[in-house]
Structure 1
């Protein structure tokens, strides 16, 4: 008995020692700090992870596209009023289907020709009385000259509009400031311990002198922190909220570039509206849009406010009967921001047989689940995970990033996954966005291995109002995100709903576009999945 007791005491001592070591390692991990910088890491190539190398590669690719301009006076920056747009090789008659190229030459406020590129330009053709519009593709020669390429999709008098959204000096300012600090957004976390609650500061980059709770996804190399409250374990974080801080790093000179009068300014042109006619009656029969087609810009046009893709044919599903027939038997998972929540609201307003399932969550961004038992149909919308900017508290008890959500879906021929992500990342260094997209791609690759029949649809960002908050929420950031998304999801078997192109062609100028545009986005979705 004595020997047995001694052995038990020895075993107990060893177990306690092991638990103590594990506890120390665990708690040390909770307050470990990882400093984020722009993703040009000093880590040696041998020690750098595959994800970090891909982040660096994409960042460098985008960084080479952005000018690095210093200026001492606004007179030396691009002036929309002094610049000019001209048609290359103008013709007396234009036919439907012709290409139109507009040359844009940039000058500064002193009338001096610009010798470098990088201006943020947006171009569009339109015939308002026909409800017609299409985007133009910008070609930058990096010497102050640009070509804007249009396809003349319809007959009639067509207006050409070329807007200087930001001068290259403003683009350089936005890019450098975005990638060097985290001050545009403040985050707060609420911790709950039985019937007590407390709040502390949270964020992606906190003062390492404080004891921090680290919320780490080690596989995906994503991290978030909160200052650890006294007498509350790190696992008791229940809600978070975030908001624009109104802090600015603009100097007075830099701020002058972003006065409202200097944003989204039309560049004068030396030509009138052009007249387009039908030169032949050949009708091109296009195949139905299908998953696997590449993301293009421009990708189509509006006519009578109905979207017509350039490379394929879109079907329309305007009645509840048509939607129900298409969606019957499907499990539809929607992960994204409020622009995809608009799709959910469209379904709820159109399909009166849907029943809302109460999940007892709070906040405007709470998960939405609707069911139609008769048609065996299930649709849910869930926000895309942190960062998600909301000035009211949102529950984080079941908060997951899109890669983790996708990993939880088995998938089959009746499964549809719809996702978008972007606008909530604009106020943070761009490497967060790149890393999240790379992790989404890896999750989709795993999904397609176990369920190649699952359909995945990705919506690009919308253009926005562009009337304030340029430093933290300019459409220039969305423009960069578009190229990153195009690079990351290239050659992946998914379908795209090109929100960036559609909102530009429609001239929506609202992050939440009207119902008529939402209907076209939903029609593209239905064309893919039905």
Structure 2
């Protein structure tokens, strides 16, 4: 398999024409119904797009709402008449280190509304970025439809007589294999996962040993313009020649700092679960040396006493949750039983405070992993899928579950993520039914500007947010939603793992949200 990719082997026609799912998702249909782009100059262009302040003045009072209309134009300076671009907007105070993301509303006609409540006094500069064009998403979703995954995954089968590698995916649609030649490894992966049956007669599905990613990423058989826009997404700032600057003043009666900015009135642990799903995109701001200020709630103590006694906290997901795990371990503190042997460790971690009956676990996700390296979890021995970890929660005892599955899966067709979330949701339904003392937090996706490639970056954010809203609709009174997107937009995060000050605020508000809830998540 590796040799075939390295040598530029052609895709099998039957594989390309077989969709990963029987029907498109609604958000796929919005893009795939259009004809593919053949002329790059007809794509959305940040150079010719415009931004116009809709307010009558550039002077505002704290609490006012600023509104800006963005009109998208193509490379021929022609107005676009469809939405679906990814527009990102944020404010920076030019006098102090304060910043926030703005809300973006897509009117689906080529125009977008940038809006935000103005929460602090200062002179603010608005930046508006065309992050991904509609045409980028058209090419991206088409390529996912054809080759299913840019990051090709293979399984290793071995015994004392033979060994062999075969391709894998989250549906039984595999290049060169018919339906009877597939190994169903769903029980190991947690959510649907299939690999080709080895050709060698000495091997069976029971001889599966490991999974890895091919180092060579795959290109889809697309038109030249589509491939070009995927490799260079052509992003940039809109309206840089005429920047929008606004002055925000405090009410004339203000004299104290708390009157110079908007502050929340209730502690985070008192926010009902359903309300966490209804937050605006502009949900808070970074203010000077104070840190993150949520417009919904205040954090109180960083790590409440309710998380320090008679509780087991499960961090289920990627390496950003590993960061939460370490901060929790420092706050308790606890004795590290299962320790990391390297920096990029992706095997289970365990920390115990026996005196106070506190257990912390980080169980890495199974998306699946590239298990060829020693720091990655072995799927046969120490990899516990998130849904299985939830299924293992007993009927008694207090449990907190934190979920985050994101960047490791963005290079695959979106059905892989949908399958993962549905499997977790079903396990949560059963868990809530048998144990009422479970608190669950689902962390949302974050921007990663450095990972702009279509091979696995933050380009799936708009779809992942919609999936969260849809899959967990029936659990919004049970599961707490923790959106961190606006933190990373405001901070202009450019890495898979945000800077230390952002991670610190992530964890601080996570603890404030999940601790001290007496009856589960609600």
TM-score, L = length of structure 2: 0.82
User: What is the alpha-carbon distance in structure 1 between the residues aligned to residue 161 and residue 95 of structure 2?
Assistant: 61
Structure 2 counterparts to residues 279-298 of structure 1, below 5 A: 279=251, 281=254, 286-290=265-269, 291-292=272-273, 293-295=275-277, 296=279, 297-298=281-282
The answer to whether the Cα contact below 8 Å between 2:87 and 2:128 also exists between their aligned partners in 1 is yes
SS in 2 for 1:111: coil
User: What is the alpha-carbon distance in structure 2 between the residues aligned to residue 360 and residue 111 of structure 1?
Assistant: 55
What residue in structure 2 maps to residue 446 of structure 1? 430
* Displacement after TM superposition at 1:224 (Å): 1.8
* Pair 252,350 (structure 1): closer, same or farther in 2 beyond 3 Å: farther
What residue in structure 2 maps to residue 22 of structure 1? none
1:263-288 CA-to-partner distances (Å, cap 9, x unmatched) read 24444363442111111546765111
Q: Which has the larger radius of gyration?
A: 1
1:313 to 272, 290, 298: 298
What residue in structure 2 maps to residue 138 of structure 1? 104
What residue in structure 2 maps to residue 208 of structure 1? 177
SS in 1 for 2:36: coil
Deviation above 6 Å: which 4+ runs of structure 1?
218-221, 359-363
What residue in structure 2 maps to residue 329 of structure 1? 310
Q: Does 1:241 align with 2:212?
A: yes
* Pair 134,363 (structure 1): closer, same or farther in 2 beyond 3 Å: closer
Q: Does 1:37 align with 2:19?
A: yes
What residue in structure 2 maps to residue 480 of structure 1? 463
The answer to whether the Cα contact below 8 Å between 1:503 and 1:513 also exists between their aligned partners in 2 is yes
* Displacement after TM superposition at 1:82 (Å): 0.9
SS in 2 for 1:473: coil
1:268 to 236, 240, 245: 240
2:359 to 356, 364, 378: 378
User: What is the alpha-carbon distance in structure 2 between the residues aligned to residue 139 and residue 308 of structure 1?
Assistant: 23
User: What is the alpha-carbon distance in structure 1 between the residues aligned to residue 26 and residue 360 of structure 2?
Assistant: 39
Q: Which runs of 5 or more residues in structure 2 are unaligned?
A: 1-14, 517-522
* Pair 378,186 (structure 1): closer, same or farther in 2 beyond 3 Å: same
User: What is the alpha-carbon distance in structure 2 between the residues aligned to residue 219 and residue 358 of structure 1?
Assistant: 23
SS in 2 for 1:475: coil
1:222-262 CA-to-partner distances (Å, cap 9, x unmatched) read 23224335434422323222245322125432233245581
* Displacement after TM superposition at 1:388 (Å): 3.5
User: What is the alpha-carbon distance in structure 1 between the residues aligned to residue 18 and residue 408 of structure 2?
Assistant: 18
What residue in structure 1 maps to residue 143 of structure 2? 177
2:194 to 204, 224, 231: 224
Root mean square deviation of aligned Cα: 3.2
What residue in structure 2 maps to residue 52 of structure 1? none
User: What is the alpha-carbon distance in structure 2 between the residues aligned to residue 110 and residue 518 of structure 1?
Assistant: 42
Q: Does 1:408 align with 2:410?
A: no
User: What is the alpha-carbon distance in structure 1 between the residues aligned to residue 57 and residue 49 of structure 2?
Assistant: 23
What residue in structure 2 maps to residue 21 of structure 1? none
Q: Which runs of 5 or more residues in structure 1 are unaligned?
A: 1-32, 42-55
User: What is the alpha-carbon distance in structure 2 between the residues aligned to residue 349 and residue 220 of structure 1?
Assistant: 30
What residue in structure 1 maps to residue 163 of structure 2? 198
* Pair 170,402 (structure 1): closer, same or farther in 2 beyond 3 Å: same
* Pair 157,367 (structure 1): closer, same or farther in 2 beyond 3 Å: same
What residue in structure 2 maps to residue 16 of structure 1? none
The answer to whether the Cα contact below 8 Å between 2:446 and 2:484 also exists between their aligned partners in 1 is yes
User: What is the alpha-carbon distance in structure 1 between the residues aligned to residue 264 and residue 152 of structure 2?
Assistant: 53
* Pair 65,233 (structure 1): closer, same or farther in 2 beyond 3 Å: closer
SS in 1 for 2:415: helix
* Displacement after TM superposition at 1:324 (Å): 6.9
1:347-400 CA-to-partner distances (Å, cap 9, x unmatched) read 455666432336999983111111122332211111121334566364101434
1:140-197 CA-to-partner distances (Å, cap 9, x unmatched) read 222221111212121111111110112211121112212332351222334454x677
* Pair 507,363 (structure 1): closer, same or farther in 2 beyond 3 Å: closer
What residue in structure 2 maps to residue 20 of structure 1? none
* Pair 431,259 (structure 1): closer, same or farther in 2 beyond 3 Å: closer
The answer to whether the Cα contact below 8 Å between 1:411 and 1:454 also exists between their aligned partners in 2 is no
How many residue pairs get aligned? The number is: 475
Q: Does 1:523 align with 2:489?
A: no
1:325-354 CA-to-partner distances (Å, cap 9, x unmatched) read 742332111110111112223345566643
1:29-67 CA-to-partner distances (Å, cap 9, x unmatched) read xxxx9x9724344xxxxxxxxxxxxxx6xx225533777
Q: Does 1:87 align with 2:53?
A: yes
